[in-house]
Amino acid sequence: MYKALLLYFSGTGITRHFAQLIQEQMEKHGYRCDLLNLEELIDITVLWQKKPVALPYTIRAEVKRPLSKYPWPYLELKKAMKAAAENPVLSHLKSEWEEYDIIGFGSPVYGFRPAPVMISLLLDLPEFQGSKRAFSFATHDGAQGDYENFMSQVLTEKGFRFVGHIDHTFVYSASAVLRESFDHLSSGRLLVRKSAQARKQIDIFIKYLNNMFEGYHGAYRMTSPMSLIFGLPYRLIYSFGIDFMLNHFLFGYGIHKDKCIQCMTCVMQCPQGLIELDEDDYPLRLYHCMYCLRCLNWCPTDALYFSKLTDGKARFPGIEVLLEATKQDELASRLSKKR
């Protein structure tokens, strides 16, 4: 029996859902599989702020549309990668992870890269000297670019034997904050269909892993080299399109103080620890973040918004709400048929 660990970061809960599906299918195939949320492993706010890696769109936002006169000392990804070194706080993982035959690292895709908090962890990991197999998994809204190659590079540099990547698109959670409403039932049905597709995809990946453990030497690739080449124009257009949308329609921070109940939910939920309190104990963010949307989605009174285009718009309710909507609809349908 092989033992696997799935370590993940999830902004809206979708990557957590994907990790749970992978765990479910692995256990059906006889694996022992543990799930570990990155935020249960370490204080990611402290980890990230010691090495504040920022992706290009965040750095450009700081330059173009600063939220305050106090610039945050962000690190560009290339410089952070060159300065990668073992963090003594994480040294224990080398011995603790010995029991696992394979480790999966999962994250949502942000600008074709993992979440910056996940990047900070990856760069701080101890060296594994080629003794541990690893793969990556990701969720995204339609484009992941060279995410797989990036993960392969980083994990290989940390001494892992990178053996493959798997990704899936479920529900377009990021666009919810620009919509007038978010249909829970239709989105729940989409989630159920996408989850069924993901299970089939995961099964194919697990069969590859089984062959690998039995001596087959190869690599499981979601994206072929040719698709990377021919997909380059698309990725460039997508990248600049997302950058334009973020800079003109999303980036910013605002609050309706008459709605705010000062519960500090947004402060506690910010993975980067960039939301603080002003002199009147209202939440305040003075710097651009990775825009995981947690603060907006978790605010119980919808007091927060980014740009004016997100003010008064819908919020992503979470995976559990969508699944519950489909269950209630199925129950209602059964009851109506009995009548």
pLDDT digits (tens, 9 = 90+) for 185-217: 999 999 999 999 999 999 999 999 999 888 776
* 194 in Cβ contact with 171 (< 8 Å): yes
Segment 273-292 mean pLDDT: 95
β-bridge partners, 276: 284
Whole-model pTM?
A: 0.92
Residue 226 has pLDDT above 70, yes or no: no
Higher pLDDT, 248 or 34: 34
pLDDT at position 237 is 59
Residue 178 has pLDDT above 90, yes or no: no
Cβ-based neighbours of 27, under 8 Å, separated by 6 or more: 33
Residue 236 has pLDDT above 70, yes or no: no
Residue 176 has pLDDT above 80, yes or no: yes
* 41 in Cβ contact with 230 (< 8 Å): no
DSSP assigned state of 246? I
Q: Describe the chain by its helix, strand, coil percentages, rounded to 5.
A: 50, 15, 35
pLDDT tier, 235 (very low <50, low <70, confident <90, very high otherwise): low
Q: What amino acid is encoded at 75 in this protein?
A: L
Q: Could you tell me the two tokens for 194?
A: 């996408």
Alpha carbons 111 and 129: distance in angstroms, whole number? 29
pLDDT at position 332 is 79
Residue 227 has pLDDT above 60, yes or no: no
pLDDT tier, 309 (very low <50, low <70, confident <90, very high otherwise): confident
Segment 65-75 mean pLDDT: 89
Query: What sign for the dihedral angle of Cα 321, 324, 325, 326?
Result: positive
Q: Which of 20-29, 127-136, 174-183, 237-246 has the highest mean pLDDT?
A: 20-29
Alpha carbons 177 and 6: distance in angstroms, whole number? 29
Segment 266-292 mean pLDDT: 95
Segment 89-106 mean pLDDT: 96
DSSP assigned state of 126? P
Alpha carbons 151 and 31: distance in angstroms, whole number? 24
pLDDT at position 273 is 96
pLDDT at position 336 is 73
Tell me the per-residue pLDDT of 37-46, one tens digit each, with 9 for 90 and over.
999 999 999 9
Computed over every residue of the chain, the mean pLDDT equals: 90
Alpha carbons 196 and 158: distance in angstroms, whole number? 34
**Domains of the chain, with CATH numbers?**
3-239 (3.40.50.360)
Q: Can you spell out the DSSP letters for 7-59?
A: EE--SSSHHHHHHHHHHHHHHHTT-EEEEEEHHHHS-HHHHHHHS-EE-HHHH
Alpha carbons 291 and 41: distance in angstroms, whole number? 22
Q: Can you tell me which residue has the tokens 């305050």? A: 68
Which residues of the chain form beta strands (DSSP E)?
Answer: 3-8, 32-37, 53-54, 75-76, 102-108, 132-139, 160-168, 254-255, 275-277, 283-285, 304-305
* 106 in Cβ contact with 7 (< 8 Å): yes
* 50 in Cβ contact with 21 (< 8 Å): no
Q: Could you tell me the two tokens for 294?
A: 């947690």
Higher pLDDT, 25 or 238: 25
* 19 in Cβ contact with 106 (< 8 Å): yes
Tell me the per-residue pLDDT of 311-333, one tens digit each, with 9 for 90 and over.
999 999 999 999 999 999 888 77
